[in-house]
Structure 1
Amino acid sequence: MRYKMTYIFLGLFLFFSIPYLITVFMAPKDEKREINFETYDSGYKIETDDGKSIDLESYLWMILPEQISLDYEEEALKAQTVILRTDIVRRMGDSKKIEEEKLPYKRISDKKLKEALGSKKYSLKDQARKRAVSDTLGKVIVYKNTYIEPFFHGLSVGTTLSGKEWFGEGYPYLQAKDSLEDVESRDYMSVTVLTYGEILEKIKESYKTDLTTDQLKSDLAISQATKNGYVKQVRAGNLKISGTVWAQWFSLASNNFYLEPYDGKMRIICLGQGNGLGMSQYGAHKMAEEGKDDQQILKYYYTGVKIRDINE
């Protein structure tokens, strides 16, 4: 009787445990993995001005908070990480290292990030930025086996800008893409009001000109722009000023703007954030909310590209 009960219990154990074991061993393995940033060696290095080297993957999570809002969905953060990795490796050329001063990125210290976010939020966002790197480890964007120049911007005007319309030639992966939810962002529009004196002062810092404020009032206009409003050139009297430079002069959110005389001054109405090229970060965030992953986001904003491992 005792042996009979043993067999019964053994049978019940196998009956309930075998399905579980089958599920565990046959389920696809999750390829995502956390990495130890203190010891990980990708083979790609960023050389700092104090003679130290930072591994590329560690450098990415250090610069990510300065490039995109950590409040965005993690798939958007991952897409941004792949963009940054691609750009840095592209700038390295045939080398596997680059001096930090040659990169247009800035690291943020843990101390400053914690001060900006607060201790509780910092803990969550610090893990999110590190997952963005770990989950995309070594992934880069290529077009016909060449690293793309991965332009990106904060917020489009509902449609991104095509490379052909902005540059004329090249950049076939930069096609105009709808990013319609961007226009619903609370940051979609910003307004700057300047006196003509302030504008003239800025012009004279860069140009030798006899232009007066009265002449500026009668002869200041946008002379060249794309069909969706990205300014290529501003005319001030006989001067032709790049729209990008104009936006930089007055700290505009983007170079998509128009000029409007207002109460004896000049009002600049600016739409979107950034240059309108490539991935819209806000658009990526909204796509992630809808369930799209980082690769789907990247392949939407960059036409005809492939996502591959850096060592392929």
Structure 2
Amino acid sequence: MKGIFFAFISLLTTTLLIPLFIISSCDMQVPQRKNVSREEIRESDLMIKVFNHETREIMELYLEEYVTQVVAAEMPGSFELEALKAQAVAARTYTILRKTSYGEEGHPSHPGASVCTSHTHCQEWLSVDELKNRHGTLWFARYWPTIQEAVEETAGVIMTYDMQPIEPLYHSTSGGATENSEDVFASAMPYLRSVSSPYEERSPVLVDQKEVEIQDFINALQSRDKDIQINDRNIASEIKILEKNQGGSVKTIQIGNKNYKGSEIRQIFDLRSSDFTVDVGRNQITFTTRGYGHGVGMSQWGANGMAEQGSDYEEILKHYYQGITLSKLTSYTK
């Protein structure tokens, strides 16, 4: 997910009661729901309140309806069915986590609604009309039925750890390995561990380069730190990567007389990831990045690669989220 990490730290400090509508007593083999009608799913569905940033209104949606449109907005519709299922479970888990965390009062940023439609704060959600406008009617006709199938076949399934819904962070591309949560955010979560992500070769953002003029580079740093000292005549010797995280991203980099986190440099120069190298040319500095996003949790392109290799959604989720249990909302078991 491209935006849910903005709420990560605040949710880590929230004490969750065991939700009465979640079953998490054991790891379960989730049955396929191919013979379950859409009407039957809706009869057992939950209602959630969603703040729409476009209309500035609070919508009341069925959970599975909301999840379907999140999956369509967050993951390429052309992805394998099992990858789309993994995304559906992650999106549903996030929604239930927010619902149990904030209840009817809603999130402080959008009172009255526990989730919203913006990827910068929650998960991206697009209406059917917005999806058609963004992708076209041919895309919608080709991929919408598969997205619906992915949601329906995992209806009610979420991920839990110690009988609580997890924080299901996800991102586009990890660059070969994901990151430990504490290396990117404030806290260590036992299920958000660095793991390999080897099947990302087809990601269009696996490797990227960005060139910054040397003077623009210096100006950007000076605008942040007035007391930074950089020798612009020998700037190559002024930049040193000091330490990397387990997943490969830059943990600490020295520039002049200052040390920065890799995530800070990513933000300052709008890089695609914190997994980068730095090359100094005559007039410009070139950042070469691997991956796209914060790098914690599920890599979407890695998930699709695993699906292409024959993994099902349960195997994908248990690879990227270590030690989790697949659990089911009680309303779906009646």
TM-score for both structures, normalised by structure 1: 0.78
Distance apart, 1:154 and its partner CA? 1.8
Q: Which runs of 5+ in 2 are unaligned?
A: 1-30, 105-112
Paired residues in the alignment total 284
Alpha-carbon distance between aligned partners in 2 of 1:206 and 1:40, rounded to the nearest angstrom: 52
Alpha-carbon distance between aligned partners in 2 of 1:240 and 1:53, rounded to the nearest angstrom: 47
Contact in 1 for aligned 2:195/2:247 (Cα 8 Å): no
Alpha-carbon distance between aligned partners in 1 of 2:148 and 2:84, rounded to the nearest angstrom: 10
* 2:265 counterpart of 1:265: no
C-alpha root-mean-square deviation of aligned residues, in Å? 3.0
- Code of the residue aligned with 1:182 in structure 2: it is E
Higher-Rg structure is 1
Report the equivalent of 2:179: 161
Q: 85-94 or 35-44, which moves further after superposition?
A: 35-44
Alpha-carbon distance between aligned partners in 1 of 2:184 and 2:141, rounded to the nearest angstrom: 41
Report the equivalent of 2:103: 95
Give the one of 207, 210, 219 matched to 1:189.
207
- Code of the residue aligned with 1:46 in structure 2: it is V
Report the equivalent of 2:295: 276
Report the equivalent of 2:65: 58
Contact in 2 for aligned 1:278/1:301 (Cα 8 Å): yes
Distance verdict in 2 for CA 1:160–1:308, change over 3 Å:
same
* 2:226 counterpart of 1:208: yes
Report the equivalent of 1:85: 92
Report the equivalent of 1:199: 217
- Code of the residue aligned with 1:149 in structure 2: it is E
Which structure has more helix as a fraction of its residues?
1
Q: 139-148 or 154-163, which moves further after superposition?
A: 154-163
Distance verdict in 2 for CA 1:30–1:109, change over 3 Å:
closer
Distance verdict in 2 for CA 1:52–1:158, change over 3 Å:
closer
SS at match of 1:180: coil
TM-score for both structures, normalised by structure 2: 0.74
Q: Percent identity?
A: 26
* 1:73-130 CA-partner distances (Å, limit 9, x unpaired): 0110110111112122222316265152784223223334223333222112122222
The correspondence of residues 1-312 of structure 1 with structure 2, limited to 5 A, is 31-32=33-34, 33-35=36-38, 41-48=45-52, 49-92=56-99, 93=101, 95=103, 98-100=114-116, 103-163=121-181, 170-183=188-201, 185-209=203-227, 211=229, 214=232, 217=235, 218-311=237-330
Distance apart, 1:190 and its partner CA? 0.9
SS at match of 1:120: helix
* 1:7-42 CA-partner distances (Å, limit 9, x unpaired): xxxxxxxxxxxxxxxxxxxxxx96333535998741
Alpha-carbon distance between aligned partners in 2 of 1:65 and 1:262, rounded to the nearest angstrom: 42
Alpha-carbon distance between aligned partners in 2 of 1:185 and 1:51, rounded to the nearest angstrom: 35
- Code of the residue aligned with 2:153 in structure 1: it is D
